[in-house]
Structure 1
Amino acid sequence: MLDMNSSRSVFGVVLACLAGVGITVPAHAGIKDEYERAQACDYNKAEYGSDVGVFDEVSVRFCISEDRRFVVYVMRSGKSWTLPFDRDYRQAGVMSLNTIEGDKLVNYTKKEGVVKRVILGRKRVDRPVLY
Structure 2
Amino acid sequence: MRHLPIIAALCLSASATFAEEPVIYETDQSFDDVTFGLESAIIDAGLVIDHISHTGEMLERTRADIGSDKVLFQAADVYSFCSASVSRSVMEADLKNVMYCPYDIFVMVAADKPDTTVIGYRPFPEGPMQEVQQMLDGIVRNAIGIE
TM-score normalised to structure 1 length:
0.29
TM-score by length of 2: 0.27
Higher relative contact order (CA 8 A, sep 6+): 2
Q: Identify, as 1 or 2, the structure richer in helix.
A: 2
Query: Which of the two has higher C-alpha Rg?
Result: 1
